[in-house]
Structure 1
């Protein structure tokens, strides 16, 4: 069971990350240690060559991992990305991109997870694989 509801996470995210209004990311699922987020396609996401840009996919992965961490640890003030490594596997065609994030290790000071990004085409192809580490500052009750 998640320590925070999808509605709570969405409310916090929109308050603390005004950029979400521009990006249009939609949290579809939030469970204990897992988060699924959809980047709803916008023409602004495209780079030359007609593919979804890397920065959009990196932002999507980072946001999904933040949700996955909060679903396990609760609301962690000032949790920040300390490392995000992305392997771009195939060029995603114009369309939605879906991120599926999973926490694989949650410690007192670090959280490590993986994110898979899928294209929204007939094959639901894996377009990128991400590993991500978050720094978790000491919390008042620790």
Structure 2
């Protein structure tokens, strides 16, 4: 189940600017830093992020067709501000949630089921 586009637009212009003030510092949150495919402009998108053995996972509650996801995949990576540090991320892959349950920790996995999330973005970090 995808959340409505109307909510995504609201978050983009109202909620995200506020979340960018703190999302890179708190557990469970992060800021994906990516470059626009067409504009070349730098963007910072706040997300809920979960550690997995070889990197991080993001539940795609709005589906995989979001610009920030497309930008990250097209560039082959970007950066993630998480818990006060910024780390490079690479190898972004959009996976069906059924495949992601194999590597997701128990709580995010249960959350994905409860929210009926269909896709997960998986990224790796250097040395993993």
TM-score scaled to structure 1, two decimals? 0.28
TM-score scaled to structure 2, two decimals? 0.30
Q: Which has the larger radius of gyration?
A: 1
- Larger RCO: 1 or 2 (CA < 8 Å, sep 6+): 2
